[in-house]
Amino acid sequence: MKISSPLVQMTVALVALTGTLLMLADLFFGVLSSRDVETMRARKQIGESLAVQVAALMERDERELLQRTLASVLERNAELRSLAIRRADGQVVMQLGNHQEAWRDSAGERSTISQLAVPLNAGAGRWGQFEVTFRRPTGNPVVRWLSEPMVLMLLFMSTVGAVAFALYLRRALQHLDPASVIPDRVQGAFDTMSEGVVVLDTRGRVLLTNKAFRGFDEDAAAARTGAALSALPWLAPSLPADAADHPWARAMNERTMVTGLTLDVGAGDQARHLIVNCAPIADPGGAARGCLATFNDVTELHRANAQLRDTLQQLSSSNALIELKNQELHRMATRDALSGCLNRRAFHEHLAPLFARAQKQAFPLSCLMIDIDHFKSVNDTHGHAAGDRVIQAVAKQIAAAARAEDLVCRYGGEEFCFVAPNLGVEETRALAEQIRQRVERDVTASLHDVPQLKVTVSVGVHTRGAGAATVAELIDRADQALYRSKRTGRNRVSMFAGPKATSLVL
């Protein structure tokens, strides 16, 4: 049940306190009797009285009279269910009624409301016991429980006492209500403010709230004078666990303003983002007498900022995606799809400024034309799929030999062009030979699943400085050296040296 006012809280507390004191008094002093206890006491007296008669008759060995007497008692008393006399060794010497079914051995010698065991003694020792079973109380258990004196007393206190306490406390609280001393014009002034305003006492209890604060939540609207602000259900989850860290408590303890604290309250559509400012209220001596707390609802601004951040993030993600797409498009536009090397258009776009810079700065620029030997027979013998694999494997070995500043281009079907700046003639010759050897050794090994396949390349080399004045002339002279390698047996490196090119055969 939702307790909505201090009056109801105090009434419930007084009723609970009175009921608790009543139960404690009964526990320690037995001021209220229990129906079961009275029943147990009466049945115990019956059992003990019968046990005296049984002992006397058994002592005189008048068994027939004893049986008639017990049968008469069982017949006249409707509460009795069965009677029995049991020796110490457990043997039943006499029973009336269905005692075997009625008696529960698990109870032992302990008497309960439904069965009673009275010891029978002979001389200085115990002879056995007289056993009596009673019928269990009948009727509805709930009705029987409600008719108990303790329950009736508690019901009486809960109804009549609650009304009496409420009437008394209502008149008392009217004189003690701190809100009654606040003029209506002050309340009206606070209600005109757009910020939520709460005036608290030194213990953090609500003295006054304005209209804006009461509009934050249903629980805020129901906040009553005297309730702890920190205990409001809609506000409590967003506050620090330690009450001393609550902003109004800090403001009063430190005698200073606490500003700019942000609180996220509620959930879902009811979520709010509040900025809390607290200022202590002090008396002329400087002692804290309370606190003025304001709650500024910046939910819409917070949502707008969050939406703006989301939009910027989406825009950033879109830009990153566009950049990736542009890079992909650039790669597709500049790279050969099969080999991954530069295509001819991109190769010439990079080579032209490099050649111009080499001319201006007078550094060497070498060009290698590389052709796969007998490539047509590879396609004819092993198929175009194998031919594509050969091109990819050769391109991989050429790219592995290249530096960051080198240019590698798939110049034709099985022909590659390699441009390397800042390499002398002998360095370029060594580079070309390295590429030739790597292709012969590693490409053939990597394609071992293609039977009877041996891959080699022929290389033609020219280093600018021997008369090439244009890019086309540089490539053409390297191409002439390449044809020299092919004419002289393939799988070799030839250096352009004028009309008579030299070949390096290993």
334 three-class SS: helix
Q: Which residues of 262-293 are buried (b: 16+ CB within 10 A; e: fewer)?
A: eeebbeeeeebbbbbbbbbbeeeeeebebbbb
Contact 471, 358 (CB under 8 A): no
Beta partners for 262?
275
CB atoms within 10 A of CB 380: 11
State the Cα torsion 403-404-407-410 to the nearest 10°: 80
Contact 414, 371 (CB under 8 A): yes
Angle of the 162-176 helix axis to the 6-29 helix axis, nearest 10: 130
Q: Which residues 6+ apart lie within 8 Å of 421 measured at CB? A: 354, 358, 363, 364, 365, 366, 405, 406
Is position 218 annotated as part of the catalytic site?
Answer: no
Residue 433 is which amino acid? E
Q: What is the 3-state secondary structure (H, E, C) of 163-217?
A: HHHHHHHHHHHHHHCHHHHCCHHHHHHHHCCCCEEEEECCCCEEEEECHHHHCCC
**Pairing verdict, β 407-410 and 288-297:** unpaired
Nearest of 493, 490, 372 to residue 427 by alpha carbon: 493
How many angstroms separate the most distant Cα atoms in the chain? 156
Catalytic residue chosen out of the listed positions 79, 109, 323, 414: 414
Nearest of 465, 366, 457 to residue 418 by alpha carbon: 366
CA dist., res. 419 & res. 471, Å (int)? 11
Quick one: tokens of 194?
A: 């757009």
**Pairing verdict, β 457-463 and 493-495:** parallel
Which residues have a catalytic role annotated? Answer: 414
